[in-house]
Structure 1
């Protein structure tokens, strides 16, 4: 096992890596899939606390973190801290990625197996990530681009934006954050969206084949698909219908948040 202590700008190269664990506080983090040798490049570093880098040749595990920044304590991080790091990591696309930030922004791109990201208030971009993906934030926003595979999103007030996604499974749960999803549904795709007060907006191609079920206690429900009809009961509003021959499913529920279903171009 090899270990390094980073207290300034530095570049390191490693042997084969199958699993990456990286956590920083503030600054910017990029984790990129690459066919080249695994590398870490720190271009800016402003902290009295050094970064610890550990590489295990046998397990092919790479860790980059502060000693006191644990996964369990990440979302509860309340300290006033000046630990600012700007870092780029490149590892193989088959690598399992665990990335955590407090206020730093993060870009994670190109991975195809298991990717987990956590943030307190930092913004996260997931670009071209497939496989099993989970994103958990307190107030940080998450944007996905060209998403495939499974995505699980949980947040208190952070927003989720899905741009050009083709998910197998998409599960999003937020208290007050907005959910905006531009989707192309697979024949067996399942999308489940839940918000307490945050608005939900979904755009599907006009030739989508999906069963739609939307419910809200007091939120406004709008659909541009003629096949989707609205009804109201004593304590809930609903909007249901079958697009095309069905197969895929879209479910959305809110308490007071509005839900809008828009029709996009044919896929």
Structure 2
């Protein structure tokens, strides 16, 4: 095992191949980038507080503080050891598995084809261009996933969840009070039917479906409002509980969305018109308006 104790900005290049990356930090920023190279590189540009440990144990590359354990990441709410900060960027082979745990730090993970798992307390998380299975958990930080094609599972307490151009066959998202904006772009893709399941207690939920859509739809709210852009779907209920149900296309996929007091909006993506302009259309907000 090779180990470094980092107390100042530095660059490291572990010599052995890496198949797994683990990062655990408090405050600052974490950037993980998947590359076509076979080796890993670590760059620490800012560091305050106790030393940051970087070690290579077999094929695992571990970056973090020894007193911050993966299983306790989401419980670091009342600790006094916040007087630390680090900005770290790690370039790794795109096919490896990645685990990132952050407390008060922003996390950005890009271009990973292996499994990605992120746990955060108050920092925002951005996931971009991931093709492997993804799981993200947050207490109060926002979660944004763009162009993710792997199975996506997201859990948040108060943080908002945004999925832009989601092309994975499976999306699971749960929040307590955070709003959800789910923009799906699965039309024309080969593979299993989409399985989308969303739930919130008081957060608003907006889902934009591709054209043509192909799913059985069940969306309901106990006391919120609903809006529906599809003629083939039925809106039921006038007072109290409301629902939107029906089948779009052949009904191969599944869309289930529930919220207790939040509103639900079902929107449609613009129909393809052959325009060569590849600029993506704006994503909807949780109230049905575009951002």
TM-superposed CA distance for 1:234, in Å, is 8.1
CA RMSD of aligned residues (A): 1.4
| Counterpart-to-counterpart distance in 2, 1:94 and 1:230 | 44
Q: Do residues 34 (structure 1) and 35 (structure 2) align?
A: yes
How far off its partner does 1:54 sit?
1.4
* Number of the residue aligned with 1:82: 83
User: Aligned residue for 2:5?
Assistant: 5
Matched residue, 1:170: 171
Runs of 4+ in structure 1 over 3 Å off: none
Q: Which residue of 2 aligns with 1:130?
A: 131
- Offset, 1:137: 0.5
Q: CA offsets per residue over residues 24-63 of structure 1, 9 Å max, x none?
A: 111111001012320100001111x111111023xx0110
CA drift at 1:82: 2.1
The structure with the largest strand share of the pair is: 1
2:212 paired with 1:230: no
- Structure 2 distance, partners of 1:259, 1:234, is 15
Paired position in structure 2 for 1:45: 47
In the alignment, is the contact (CA less than 8 A) between 1:184 and 1:208 conserved in 2? no
SS at match of 1:75: helix
Q: How far did 1:233 drift? A: 8.1
SS in 2 for 1:103: strand
Q: TM-score scaled by structure 1?
A: 0.95
Counterparts of 1:62-77 in structure 2, within 5 Å, are 62-77=61-76
Query: Residue 205 of structure 1 aligns with which residue?
Result: 210
Determine the C-alpha separation between the residues in 1 that align with 2:114 and 2:42: 21
TM-score by length of 2: 0.88
Task: Measure the CA separation in 1 of the matches of 2:135 and 2:203.
Answer: 20
Task: Determine the structure 2 residue equivalent to 1:193.
Answer: 198
Classify the secondary structure of the residue corresponding to 1:74.
Answer: helix
Residues 228 and 242 of structure 1 are in contact (CA less than 8 Å); yes or no, is this contact kept in structure 2? yes
